[in-house]
Chains A and B, each alone.
Chain A
Amino acid sequence: MTLLRIVLKSLRQHLLSTTITSLSIALAGGLILSVWIIKDQSNAAFTDVNAGFDAVLGARSSKLQLVLNSIFHVEASPGNLAWEDYEDIRKHPGVASAIPIAVGDNYRGFRLIGVTPELFTETQYREGSKYALEPNGRWMDPSRREAVVGGFAAAQLGLKVGDNFHPYHGLIFDEEKEHAETYVVVGIMKLSNTPADRVIWIPLAGLQKMSGHNPESASDVSAVLIKLRNPQSGFRLDMMYNKQGNRLTFAWPIDQIMAQLFRKISWFDKVLEIIAYLVALVAAGSVLAGIYNSMNERKRDIAILRALGARRRVIFGAIVFESTCISIIGMVMAFAFYGIIFSTAAAVIRFQTGVVLNPFALHSALIWTPAGMIALGALTGCIPAAKAYRTPVAENLLPVS
């Protein structure tokens, strides 16, 4: 109780220093939490997303580009493949389902994707989860100019059932490239927390035959999303398309392709980690400097406490406890910093990819970061505490002029 009272008094007496050093701890703790949790959650989220498919077949290109374009709806399409190619793989005995998609247009920056109704009626985008519609909506009729809008895109664009819109040519919004066709929104999809949320879905034929598109390639598709009957089929198709053929690319398995991406950019994670740890060291240094520099003005108080009977170890403990308290206050604030950084990063990732990160998901960093920072704070406090421990009592009790 005495120790707590002494420490609380000291924190209050050195309020400015306490606030600044706590903020530096908060910043460091928030950064470390953000770096670790965003990195791990992104990694898990992106490798987990496959829209319910095992593989993608597309024009000859990198597998990563194919997956990013067809599953995450980012990146440019590597090219088209002929309808016959789609028919071939659809009939392959190792393929359970094959859904063609066509890309190439947008509406105010949100991609239009031409697709067959099976994507909505047959596909489970996650084990046990099918795409669903908000009330008053229905799936589009493939023979009409109708659209179903992903929940996130609908919210961003303000689209609702019954609205009409004109698509724009290309994947990047350009007001001068408006198509003549008018599409009517017939359904808004419930949020699935997948890239599908930020897509406007229209019938495959609608996109293939959009005015201004090359009529000669009207039957081509951009990619085929494939569900395999078994993994062995994946090996056989990989051999057939990637090793024996040179015209198409078979991107399989999707999760490993995404994992490869994260391995390639892991050096960036390392850089962020190093920066976060350096910030933590600087923060610990600021606690050390803040308390150490105040030791001269505290000498008299320490001498008085000793004269009143406080033992050396009480004085040592008070300084270490003070440093620990600063770290605890800092770590409480660190969660606020983490919340801000995480929310911003999650919003950007969701806007760009549709992938949703969960700030409340449990992560070991939520335990070891506060524990580590508080331990570092306590350790840092040992240096000024040692100085306080050695403070000579008699000479610091002398009258001051």
Chain B
Amino acid sequence: MALLEITHLKKNYRSPDNQIHTVLDVPEFSMQPKEQVGLCGRSGTGKTTFLHLIAGILTANEGQIKLDGQDIQSMRESERDRVRAFQIGYIFQTFNLLQGYTCLENVLLGMSFGPGSDRAYATELLQKVGMEDRLHHYPRQLSTGQQQRIAVARALANRPKLVLADEPTGNLDRQHAMTALQLIREVCKANGAALLLVSHDRHILKSFDHCWDLATINKASKEADQ
């Protein structure tokens, strides 16, 4: 059974002049458990919206998003929060680490809304991403690359089935981007999590066996181009 199954997904936005615009129209998209998929697309083509819909942060106007057989779109908000807390890990372009929390606390927080805090596992994850000597540092005391490692560890803290990565290398130069990408993929693989990584940088996505262009799966994007 597919881990993620998306069918007839539509997301509309109301513009300031009260016109309704469809930004996403995805007839079909799926991912298998532990699969790693790259998704590319130009800026403004709805990549982040697509991930927010999968994560249940946004709701679609039409369609289904089934994660592990459960339709996220038909869930109440609190149930979607629960799915995020237990089944999804999210890596943001700007990492979105909580500045008032240490590295270890950021990772523990990633667990606390789901399976519960597990200090040993949090420490183990931070070791995996090479941050075992920065457990009690605050994000502001770290370099961009180090912050991203913490974000990767946090995304895996709740032992998710699916990790969503939104332009995770967007703030890094090419060399560091490749290193970071390798890290994300290795850690996801080691933890048995599927990975959906979106980026506008096609070079980054070359290493993925399965790579999609959002423009090809998003009918709304095609219509806009026409």
Q: Which residue of A1, A9, A300, A397 has the most chain B CB atoms within 10 A of its CB atom? A: A397
CB neighbours (8 Å) of A308 from chain B are 84-85, 90, 109-110, 113, 154
CB neighbours (8 Å) of B97 from chain A are 304
CB neighbours (8 Å) of B86 from chain A are 309
Q: Is B81 interfacial (CB 8 A cutoff)?
A: yes
CB pair A2–B113 under 8 Å, yes or no, is: yes
Interchain CA distance A309-B55 in the complex, whole Å: 10
CB pair B78–A301 under 8 Å, yes or no, is: no
CB neighbours (8 Å) of A304 from chain B are 96-98
Q: Is B191 interfacial (CB 8 A cutoff)?
A: no
Q: Is A387 interfacial (CB 8 A cutoff)?
A: no
Chain A contacts with B in 4-43, Cβ cutoff 8 A: 5, 9-10, 12-13
Q: Is A306 interfacial (CB 8 A cutoff)?
A: yes
Given contacts A2-B112, A397-B57, A397-B92, contact A309 B100 (CB under 8 A): no
Nearest-CB distance from A366 to chain B (Å)? 36
CB pair B114–A312 under 8 Å, yes or no, is: no
Interchain CA distance A306-B49 in the complex, whole Å: 16
Q: Is A64 interfacial (CB 8 A cutoff)?
A: no
| Range class of the A interface residue count | 20 to 34
CB pair B94–A9 under 8 Å, yes or no, is: no
CB neighbours (8 Å) of A301 from chain B are 98, 100
Nearest-CB distance from B200 to chain A (Å)? 13
Q: Is B58 interfacial (CB 8 A cutoff)?
A: yes
CB pair A400–B94 under 8 Å, yes or no, is: yes
Nearest-CB distance from B195 to chain A (Å)? 17
Interchain CA distance A285-B93 in the complex, whole Å: 39
* Count, chain B residues at interface, CB 8 A: 30
CB pair B113–A9 under 8 Å, yes or no, is: no
Nearest-CB distance from A392 to chain B (Å)? 9
CB pair A310–B113 under 8 Å, yes or no, is: yes
CB pair A311–B78 under 8 Å, yes or no, is: yes
Given contacts A2-B112, A394-B58, contact A310 B100 (CB under 8 A): no
Q: Is the interface of A mostly helix, strand, loop or mixed?
A: helix
Interchain CA distance A308-B56 in the complex, whole Å: 11
CB neighbours (8 Å) of A300 from chain B are 96
CB pair B78–A312 under 8 Å, yes or no, is: yes
For A300, give the chain B residue with the smallest CB separation: B96
CB pair B100–A307 under 8 Å, yes or no, is: no
Chain B contacts with A in 113-140, Cβ cutoff 8 A: 113-114, 117
Chain B contacts with A in 47-104, Cβ cutoff 8 A: 49, 52, 55, 57-58, 77-78, 81-82, 84-86, 90, 92-94, 96-98, 100-101
Q: A307-323, CB under 8 A of B: which get 1 and which 0?
A: 11111111000000000
Q: Is A399 interfacial (CB 8 A cutoff)?
A: yes
CB neighbours (8 Å) of A393 from chain B are 57
CB neighbours (8 Å) of B85 from chain A are 308-310
For A12, give the chain B residue with the smallest CB separation: B100
Q: Is B169 interfacial (CB 8 A cutoff)?
A: no
For B108, give the chain A residue with the smallest CB separation: A5
Give the residue of A9, A10, A307 whose beta carbon is less than 8 angstroms from that of B90.
A307
Q: Which residue of B55, B84, B105 has the most chain A CB atoms within 10 A of its CB atom? A: B84
Given contacts A13-B100, A399-B94, contact A312 B55 (CB under 8 A): no
Give the residue of B52, B82, B94, B112 whose beta carbon is less than 8 angstroms from that of A394.
B52
CB pair B117–A1 under 8 Å, yes or no, is: yes
CB neighbours (8 Å) of A400 from chain B are 94
For A10, give the chain B residue with the smallest CB separation: B100
CB neighbours (8 Å) of A311 from chain B are 78, 81-82, 113
Given contacts A1-B112, A307-B92, A394-B52, list 15 more A-B pairs with CB under 8 A.
A2-B109, A2-B113, A2-B117, A9-B98, A300-B96, A303-B96, A307-B84, A308-B85, A308-B109, A308-B113, A309-B81, A311-B78, A312-B78, A397-B52, A397-B57
- Nearest 4 CB-CB pairings of A with B: A309-B85, A309-B113, A2-B112, A309-B84
Binding site for A on B (CB under 8 A): 49, 52, 55, 57-58, 77-78, 81-82, 84-86, 90, 92-94, 96-98, 100-101, 105, 109-110, 112-114, 117, 154, 158
